[in-house]
Chain A
Amino acid sequence: MNNKKSNNNQLLMTLLKGRTFIVLVLLVIFFTIVKGTTFLSASTLTMVAKHVALYGILALGMTFVIITGGIDLSVGSVVGLVGMLAGGMIQEGITLKFAGVTLYFSVPVIVIAMLIVGCLIGAVNGLIVTKLGVAPFIATLGTMYICRGFANLRSNGATFSDIKGYDGLGNTGFKILGSNIAGIPTGVYIFAVLAVISVIILKKLPFGWYVLAVGGNEKSARLSGIKADKIKIIVYMISGFCAAWVGMINTAQLSAAHPASGDGWEMNAIAATVLGGTSMSGGSGTIIGTVVGAFVIGVINDGMTMCGVSEFWQKVIRGLVIILAVVIDQTQRNLQAKMALQARNENK
Chain B
Amino acid sequence: MFDDPNVVLHCEKIDKIYPGTKALDQVSFDLLKGQVNVLIGENGAGKSTLMKMIAGIEQPSSGKMYMDGKEVYFKDTNAARAKGIGIIHQELSLFPNMTVYQNIFMGHEKKKGIFLDDKAHSEGAKKILKRLEHEIPPDTMVGDLRVGQQQMVEIARNLNQDDLRVLIMDEPTSSLSAAEVKVLFKIMRELLEAGISIVYISHRLEEIMEIGDHVTILRDGKYVADAAVKDIELSWIVENMVGKNTQYHRFERSIDLSKQPKMLEIKNLCLPKKGGGWTLDHVSLDLKKGEVLGIYGLLGAGRSELFECLMGLHPEHTGDVFYEGKKLKIKDVATQIQNGFALVPEDRQSQGLIQTLDIGKNTSISSLKDYVKGLFLDEKAENAAVDEQIRDIHIKVADKRLPILSLSGGNQQKVVIGKGLLTKPKILLLDEPSRGIDIGAKTEVFEIIHELAEKGLSIIVISSELKEIMAIADRICVLSNGKKTGELTGDEITEDTLVRTSYAGLGTGRNA
Contacts and interface: CB of A to CB of B under 8 A. Distances in A.
B275 A345 contact: yes
A220 interface: yes
Interface stretch (A78-86, A191-199, A208-216, A231-239): A208-216
B96 A205 contact: no
Given A216-B95, A338-B274, A225 B144 contact: no
Contacts of A200: 115
Given A338-B274, A345-B277, A226 B106 contact: yes
Interface of A: 2, 200, 203-206, 208-209, 212-213, 215-217, 219-226, 283-284, 336-345, 348
B93 A213 contact: no
A341 B279 CA distance: 13
Nearest to B112: A204
A223 B77 contact: yes
B114 A209 contact: no
Contact of A345 (B76, B114, B510): B510
B67 interface: no
Contact of A340 (B77, B116, B141, B276): B141
Most chain B CB atoms below 10 A, which of A336, A339, A345: A345
A212 B98 contact: yes
Contacts of B277: 345
Contacts of B282: none
Given A341-B273, A348-B510, 4 more contacts: A206-B109, A224-B77, A224-B107, A345-B510
Contacts of B177: none
B488 interface: no
24 contacts: A2-B276, A204-B116, A212-B97, A213-B98, A215-B97, A223-B57, A223-B77, A223-B93, A224-B77, A224-B93, A224-B107, A225-B76, A225-B81, A225-B107, A226-B106, A283-B97, A336-B144, A341-B144, A341-B274, A342-B274, A342-B276, A345-B273, A345-B275, A345-B276
8 smallest CB-CB distances across A and B, nearest first, come from: A342-B275, A340-B144, A283-B97, A220-B93, A216-B97, A224-B107, A216-B95, A225-B78
B146 interface: yes
A308 to B, nearest CB: 43
Contact of B116 (A206, A341, A348): A206
A164 B76 CA distance: 54
A229 B146 CA distance: 31
Nearest to B105: A209
Contacts of A348: 509-510
Contacts of B109: 206, 209
Nearest to A219: B93
Interface string B84-109: 00000100011111100010001101
Contacts of B78: 225
A205 B106 contact: no
- In this complex, the interface size class of chain B, counting residues with CB under 8 Å from chain A, is 20 to 34
B107 A216 contact: no
Contacts of A217: 93-97
Interface of B: 57, 76-78, 81, 89, 93-98, 102, 106-107, 109, 111, 114-116, 141, 144-146, 273-277, 509-510
Contacts of B89: 223
A53 to B, nearest CB: 27
Nearest to B107: A224
A221 B275 CA distance: 32
A213 B274 contact: no
B47 to A, nearest CB: 18
A337 B95 contact: no
A281 to B, nearest CB: 10
Contacts of A220: 93-95
Contact of B115 (A205, A336, A341, A345): A205
A220 B142 CA distance: 14
A343 B115 CA distance: 32
A224 B153 CA distance: 14
Contact of B102 (A209, A337, A342, A343): A209
Nearest to A223: B93
Nearest to A224: B107
A206 B276 contact: no
A289 to B, nearest CB: 15
Given A224-B77, A224-B107, A344-B146, A209 B116 contact: yes
A209 B98 CA distance: 9
Given A338-B275, A345-B277, A345-B510, A284 B97 contact: yes
A341 B95 contact: no
A339 B275 CA distance: 7
B146 A213 contact: no
B97 A337 contact: no
A344 B137 CA distance: 12
Most chain A CB atoms below 10 A, which of B76, B78, B95: B95
B192 to A, nearest CB: 25
Contact of A206 (B94, B95, B111, B509): B111
B296 to A, nearest CB: 23
Contacts of A216: 95-98
Nearest to B509: A348
Contacts of A339: 275
Most chain B CB atoms below 10 A, which of A215, A217, A222: A217
Given A206-B109, A213-B98, A345-B277, A337 B115 contact: no
Contacts of B96: 216-217, 283
B350 to A, nearest CB: 15
A135 to B, nearest CB: 16
B363 to A, nearest CB: 30
Nearest to A210: B106
Given A205-B115, A216-B95, A344 B144 contact: yes
Contacts of B93: 217, 219-220, 223-224
Contacts of B145: 344
A60 B89 CA distance: 35
A225 B93 CA distance: 12
Most chain B CB atoms below 10 A, which of A203, A219, A223: A223
Contacts of B76: 225
B313 to A, nearest CB: 17
Contacts of A340: 141, 144
B111 to A, nearest CB: 7
Most chain A CB atoms below 10 A, which of B97, B144, B273: B97
A318 B257 CA distance: 65
Contacts of B115: 200, 204-205
Contacts of A223: 57, 77, 89, 93
Most chain A CB atoms below 10 A, which of B57, B275, B276: B275
A2 B93 CA distance: 35
B115 to A, nearest CB: 5
A336 B274 CA distance: 12
Contacts of A208: 116
A206 B107 CA distance: 8
A337 B96 CA distance: 12
A225 B275 contact: no
Contacts of B107: 224-226
Contacts of A222: 77
A290 B146 CA distance: 31
Contacts of B146: 344
Contacts of B102: 209, 212
Contacts of B116: 203-206, 208-209
Nearest to A339: B275
Nearest to B108: A225
Contacts of A203: 116
Most chain B CB atoms below 10 A, which of A208, A212, A224, A339: A224
